[in-house]
């Protein structure tokens, strides 16, 4: 899935910054996952755990907006019926937008990690 399809100025976007920070915080989380500090931070929703939730929310909101816009476009035009990009194909077989969002985020994060 081409990230430029979703966000033309991907490298300058809030989504890109959120992916970067989410990656860094996830690595920190993995390093701390066996310690009491990580569990305490998660329980109290402080520090990197709080920030991780915030950046995941940004990513999820952007992707849900993209999906919503595409669904509106498909409902009002014939555009979606002839599209062969991956998002359109998934949308043709997946009705649950949250599940679709999770798939899109997985593809974006794989692409982001591969190119960064």
Read off the pLDDT of residues 42-96 as tens digits, 9 standing for 90 and up. Answer: 899 999 899 999 999 999 999 999 999 988 888 887 655 566 778 888 888 888 9
Are residues 58 and 108 part of one domain?
Answer: yes
Is 23 contained in some domain?
A: yes
The phi and psi torsions of 64 (rounded to 5 degrees) equal -65, -35
Are residues 75 and 18 part of one domain?
Answer: no
pTM: 0.65
Going from the C-alpha of 64 to that of each of 6, 9, 51, 97, 103, the distances in angstroms are 11, 18, 20, 7, 11
Calpha distance 42→45 (Å, rounded): 5
pLDDT, tens only, 12-52:
577 888 888 888 888 887 776 667 787 888 899 999 899 99
Domain limits at 34?
A: 11-46
Q: Name the more confident of 18 and 115.
A: 18
Q: Average pLDDT in the 94-108 region?
A: 91
Helix (H, G, I), strand (E, B) or coil at 2: coil
Calpha distance 110→107 (Å, rounded): 5
Calpha distance 23→19 (Å, rounded): 6
Is 84 contained in some domain?
A: yes
- Look at the chain and report how many structural domains it folds into: 2
Are residues 109 and 55 part of one domain?
Answer: yes
């Amino acid at each position: 899935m081409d990230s430029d399809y979703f966000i033309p100025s991907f490298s300058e976007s809030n989504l890109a910054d959120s992916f970067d920070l989410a990656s860094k915080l996830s690595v920190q989380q993995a390093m701390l996952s066996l310690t009491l500090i990580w569990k305490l931070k998660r329980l109290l929703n402080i520090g990197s755990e709080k920030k991780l939730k915030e950046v995941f929310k940004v990513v999820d909101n952007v992707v849900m907006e993209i999906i919503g816009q595409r669904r509106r476009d498909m409902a009002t035009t014939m555009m979606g019926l002839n599209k062969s990009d991956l998002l359109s194909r998934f949308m043709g077989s997946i009705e649950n937008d949250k599940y679709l969002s999770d798939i899109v985020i997985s593809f974006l994060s794989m692409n982001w990690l591969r190119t960064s």
